Structure 1
Amino acid sequence: MTDVRSHVEDARLRTMLLAADEDALSEAYDLHAPSAFALAFRITGDRQGAEDAVQEAFLDLWRNPGRFNPDAGSLRTWLCTIARRRAIDWLRRQSAQRTYLTRLAGQTPIEAPVEDDVISAATAKAVRECVRDLPRLYRDPIALAYYYGLSYREVAIELGVPEGTAKSRLRSALHHLAERMAAAGYPPG
């Protein structure tokens, strides 16, 4: 029932946004900015960077409300995805600025060995593949909690289940993921 209600609310907000109704943007912000901020802050570790990422996500919604399709997913998930991308972009800009300033000061930045980058990328790819191969019952809670940064309560709301059920599914999902990672040859931890 919650999924149907959220879908109807998201479709209503989209219609209002397409009509340039500022109240719809305010309502969407009140509903979804905390989740988008939590995710962006977890990525950036910086309050201002997270606020910038969220602002850009809502600006994108305001300028291009037609890009959001309530039939493809929830507005919260869509906004969190954009905020996540903007937060990652912010991190990249910060890194580039540090590198530039270090070079400008005549110092050579210390860079991690290429092997570390290759290992990290391979591990991240393996995790994504193992998550993708999980049954939807386990894949969705992991995606919501770890990729979108939602709390147990928010995961429960998105899935339309009690909070205890969301916690249980997430624990089971992590157990199944650990098994798949071990089977793929990755050590525990």
Structure 2
Amino acid sequence: MDPNHDFLHLLSATAQGDRLAFADLYRQTAGKLYAISLQMLRRRDLAEEAVQEAFVRIWHNAGDYQHEKGTVLTWMISIVRYRALDMLRATKSRRETGDEGLEEALDEQSPEQELYEQRDRVRIDRCMDRLDEGQRQAIEMAYFRGLTHMEVCDQMETPLGTIKTWIRRGLERLKRCLES
């Protein structure tokens, strides 16, 4: 099944005001958009804010999507990337004008937050190390670097079905590992 066809259907319904279609589109794409935002912003709260604002724009601009310019997911990713870039630019601007409030917020975390993030990273790294090489590479490319499944296929020179299977099975193993 072609995910772009499904996304196009959901986006079209969203453009008509269908909240259930929008919720389904969110459910299917939010994780990937969050991963891209987190990769750029390096803070969970800012990444969540960027994704939330991007989905507000997606809701309001669903009717503006033009399929000739790329897939629905590519369009959505560009919205998230632009929002994250706007946030980074705002940080840089504040730094240059001496208003360091957001910059300090970006740089400072409570010791508890840092400890929890370090623990999470260690647990995730430990579980990632337990995956098969193909699963680990595919998940890193898709979720940590923000590549599409097709881009992962190209990078790994592996068929799409294999990539999807590796990612699905790898995520299942990661979930079991992290829950134990």
Paired residue for 2:59?
62
Shift of 1:152: 6.5
What are structure 1's unaligned runs of at least 5 residues?
Answer: 104-143, 167-189
Paired residue for 2:74?
77
* Cα separation, 2, equivalents of 1:33 and 1:154: 18
Contact preservation (8 Å) 2:142, 2:152: yes
Shift of 1:91: 0.6
* Cα separation, 1, equivalents of 2:11 and 2:68: 11
In structure 2, which of residues 9, 22, 26 is the aligned counterpart of residue 25 of structure 1?
22
* Cα separation, 1, equivalents of 2:68 and 2:81: 21
Tell me the amino acid that sits aligned with residue 51 of structure 1.
Answer: E
TM-score (norm 1): 0.53
Tell me the amino acid that sits aligned with residue 33 of structure 2.
Answer: A
Paired residue for 1:100?
97
**Which piece of structure 1 moves more, 15-24 or 71-80?**
71-80
Paired residue for 1:163?
163
Give the secondary structure class of the aligned counterpart of 1:162: helix
Count of aligned pairs between the two proteins:
123
Shift of 1:70: 3.9
Tell me the amino acid that sits aligned with residue 78 of structure 1.
Answer: W
* Cα separation, 2, equivalents of 1:152 and 1:15: 23
Paired residue for 2:7?
10
Contact preservation (8 Å) 1:7, 1:70: no
1:110-125 equivalent positions in 2, closer than 5 A:
none
Paired residue for 1:45?
42
Shift of 1:27: 0.8
- Which 4+ residue blocks in structure 1 deviate beyond 6 angstroms? 151-154
TM-score (norm 2): 0.56
Tell me the amino acid that sits aligned with residue 163 of structure 1.
Answer: I
* Cα separation, 1, equivalents of 2:24 and 2:151: 17
Shift of 1:154: 8.2
What are structure 2's unaligned runs of at least 5 residues?
Answer: 101-140, 154-158, 167-180
Question: In 2 relative to 1, CA 58–102 (structure 1 residues): closer, same or farther, beyond 3 Å?
Answer: closer
Aligned CA RMSD, in angstroms, stands at 3.6
Q: Does 1:89 align with 2:80?
A: no
* Cα separation, 2, equivalents of 1:91 and 1:78: 20
Question: In 2 relative to 1, CA 83–14 (structure 1 residues): closer, same or farther, beyond 3 Å?
Answer: same
